[in-house]
Amino acid sequence: MHHFEYRGDVLYCEDVAIPDLAETYGTPLYVYSTATLKRHYRVLSEAFETQSCLIAYSVKANSNLAVLATLASMGAGADVVSGGELYRALKAGIPAEKIVFSGVGKSVSELNAALDAGIHQFNVESIPELHRLSRLAEARGVKAPIALRVNPHVAAGGHANISTGAAEHKFGIAWHEAKDIYKEAMDMPGIQVAGVDVHIGSQITDIAPMRTAFEKVVGLVRELRDMNIPIERIDLGGGLGIPYRDGDVPASPSDYAAMVRDVLGDLDVQVILEPGRMIAGNAGIFISRVEYIKERDGRRFAILDAGMNDLMRPALYQAVHEMKPVVKSASDWTQTYDLVGPICESTDRFAKDYETTELHEGDLVAFMSAGAYGAVMSNQYNTRPICAEVLVDGEQHDLVRRAPTFEEIVSSEQIPKWITS
């Protein structure tokens, strides 16, 4: 459920007409709905309300400060994967006690920053990382609460490139070594063993693989407790899929919560969730304007003012974001278009053979479900400024990230003296 609906022929975000936003802020443009963000957070927290649970929003999905502050106001924690994300989460008002730190490559300075902040949990992904963390925490005279991320040999996800739980993937420690590493961790200075962590992939629409992985983890937790290793938390990662097209029906948060309760049985643990896409995905759309319609060799291209640098998911994962005209056409006459951008790459294409009502130069189009892994993965290829982001709340709207000027883009570059002298 989201708050991007037509009123008459015009697409709105909550109480704001999208053409007004395009007029005010220009295109391409990301537009986020506060009500949708809050709703998604609320649905998930209500589904887990009978359980001791920390919802650590996965900052990587959409890390805009305004999005983080909105979720912070709802009580969300954060799952961060870099020093930069830790900085953002704290800056947006998410308390350190609700922050977990994931990722395979945490640097010394990132670990130190997280130790200094006093975060809730380090999700450790390797033995060398455990040793490094132990050393750094000991030097500070503190104990780092850790969960080991296990690789359960259960992979899932909407595309091979966003699946993480198989042996071939770089994530987590080996399943068969887990108990030994926990034993080792128990004796390490600077380490407080707190939990087990798992994350098998993203855009998972079927609960079955999650259940399989979770059952393995719960089995492991019981064995660890039998070994007097005090596991008090299970971090289930993120991964819940969302509907990208009308008719998609992914597993719901309540199905997911029921599965978790069922698998946990009488096991008393804090559950940590790291939802990203589920919170932000359908809370954002991406607006672009048609620059040209070009017909050539039997194909019809709608050339947009947005490119793969703004929304990379189609080029990276062949993802199709449903496209809606911002103002519905007066006629039902449809045409087939290749929806492409201005970038000099053949992968700069949002959709091929996409059937829609007739498009014309100047028309606005909206790509739906673009709130997660959209703006955060944008880049300035072809020296196209990273585009603006707007947050809507009822009738209010404001710029939450402005596009840089060309001058700002080049301001961190310099020409060495030997070239010009």
Ligand X SMILES: N[C@@H](CCCC[NH3+])C(=O)O
Q: What are phi and psi of 125, to 5 degrees?
A: -115, 0
Q: Site map for ligand PLP, 236-275, x if CB under 6 A? A: -xxxx---------------------------------xx
Considering the rule CB under 6 A, would residue 63 count as an interface residue with ligand X? no
Considering the rule CB under 6 A, would residue 276 count as an interface residue with ligand PLP? yes
Catalytic residue ranges:
344
Q: How many residues bind ligand X (CB under 6 A)?
A: 6
Decide: residue 316, CB within 10 A, 0-12 exposed, 13-18 middle, 19+ buried.
Answer: middle
User: What CA–CA distance (Å, rounded) separates 320 from 307?
Assistant: 14
Is beta strand 10-13 parallel, antiparallel or unpaired with respect to 121-124?
unpaired
23 is in an annotated binding site: no
349 is in an annotated binding site: no
Considering the rule CB under 6 A, would residue 313 count as an interface residue with ligand X? yes
CB 325 within 8 A of CB 359: yes
Amino acid type, 2: H
Is beta strand 99-101 parallel, antiparallel or unpaired with respect to 121-124?
parallel
Q: Supply the minimum distance, in Å, between the C-beta of residue 95 and ligand PLP.
A: 19
Residue 313 interacting partner from ligand X, ligand PLP, none (CB closer than 5 to 8 Å by kind): ligand X
Ordered alpha helix ranges (H), 52-95: 65-74, 83-91
Q: Site map for ligand PLP, 80-99, x if CB under 6 A? A: --------------------
Q: Supply the minimum distance, in Å, between the C-beta of residue 41 and ligand X.
A: 19
Q: Supply the minimum distance, in Å, between the C-beta of residue 313 and ligand X.
A: 5
Nearest one of 161, 175, 180 to 212, comparing CA atoms:
175
Q: Which is nearer to ligand PLP, 250 or 276 (CB)?
A: 276
Ordered alpha helix ranges (H), 10-166: 18-25, 34-47, 65-74, 83-91, 108-117, 127-140
Is beta strand 284-296 parallel, antiparallel or unpaired with respect to 299-304?
antiparallel
Which residue in this structure is represented by tokens 């407790």? Answer: 225
Q: Which is nearer to ligand PLP, 79 or 110 (CB)?
A: 79
Considering the rule CB under 6 A, would residue 158 count as an interface residue with ligand PLP? no
Q: Which is nearer to ligand PLP, 272 or 390 (CB)?
A: 272
274 is in an annotated binding site: yes
Give the interface with ligand PLP as residue ranges (CB under 6 A). 58, 61, 79, 102, 199, 202, 237-240, 274-278, 372
Give the interface with ligand X as residue ranges (CB under 6 A). 162, 202-203, 313, 317, 373
List binding-site positions for pyridoxal 5'-phosphate: 239, 274-277, 373
